[in-house]
Chains A and B, each alone.
Chain A
């Protein structure tokens, strides 16, 4: 079955350490996204990528970095510069719904919960 795989599901890290969250999709989607979810704040866009080797900052990119070397993969690194990294991180990918236009429909992974100790 096609889908998005995020790993690890739970991650603990000490302050000052970088950590990389994995996101792999086999949906053949061109676009991929990283969102951060905090209680009561909904989903906030960190980075997104429309094509391989290209990505753009979202609303809260500071303290994060990404790469898009393969169509299937879009890893997110949470660096030590991120001041409040404890959150639930969601990766998503999208297809274009048949020429209707508008933002693409998102398929989400199950998420990774990062806790900084």
Chain B
């Protein structure tokens, strides 16, 4: 089942902060975050593993609450280059054939 992302879209001014949420109805082993710029391939940002571990990437960080089956992506002091669509991918599979189920994406637009 597809995780739910919110908000669907957000518009910021350069330097402002944003939070993107990802929620699943299933128990999760990990959560991945990817960013896709228009017309390009999605690019991996970070992985959050079971255990509530928080990871960071430049001024982008994320948290994972495994009890609530939720993850949040934090974009601090946003830059123009942060514009794009952000996808969370959740891993709730067991066994060796692990795979991700992606949310519908959050479109982030950073204006000068």
Q: Is the interface of B mostly helix, strand, loop or mixed?
A: loop
Interface string of B77-112 (1 = CB under 8 A from A): 000000000010101010011111111110000000
Interface size range of chain B in the complex: 20 to 34
Interface string of A34-77 (1 = CB under 8 A from B): 01000011111100101000001011000000000000000000
Total A residues in contact with B, Cβ cutoff 8 Å:
27
A107 and B44 in contact, given A102-B49, A102-B98 (Cβ under 8 angstroms): yes
B34 contacts A by Cβ under 8 Å: yes
Q: Which residues of A contact B42 (CB under 8 A)?
A: 43, 90, 106, 108
**Interfacial residues of chain A within 91-117, with CB under 8 A of chain B in the complex:** 97, 100-111
**B34 A106 Cβ-Cβ under 8 A:** yes
A108 and B43 in contact, given A42-B103, A102-B91, A103-B99 (Cβ under 8 angstroms): yes
A106 to B98, CA, bound (A): 12
Query: How many A-B contacts at CB < 8 Å in the complex?
Result: 68
Closest partner residue, chain B, to A4 (CB atom): B41
Q: Which residues of A contact B101 (CB under 8 A)?
A: 45, 59
| Cβ contact of A104, chosen from B49, B98, B104, cutoff 8 A | B98
Q: Which residues of B contact A102 (CB under 8 A)?
A: 29-30, 47, 49-50, 91, 98
Between A43, A90, A109, the greatest number of chain B beta carbons within 10 A of the residue's beta carbon is seen for A43
Q: Which residues of B contact A44 (CB under 8 A)?
A: 102
List 19 A-B pairs, Cβ < 8 Å: A33-B99, A42-B2, A42-B102, A42-B103, A48-B97, A48-B99, A58-B99, A59-B101, A100-B49, A101-B30, A101-B49, A102-B29, A102-B50, A103-B32, A103-B89, A103-B99, A107-B44, A108-B42, A109-B41
4 A-B pairs besides A48-B97, A59-B101 with CB distance below 8 A are A42-B104, A100-B49, A105-B44, A108-B42
A residues adjacent to B (C-beta < 8 A):
33, 35, 40-45, 48, 50, 56, 58-59, 90, 97, 100-111
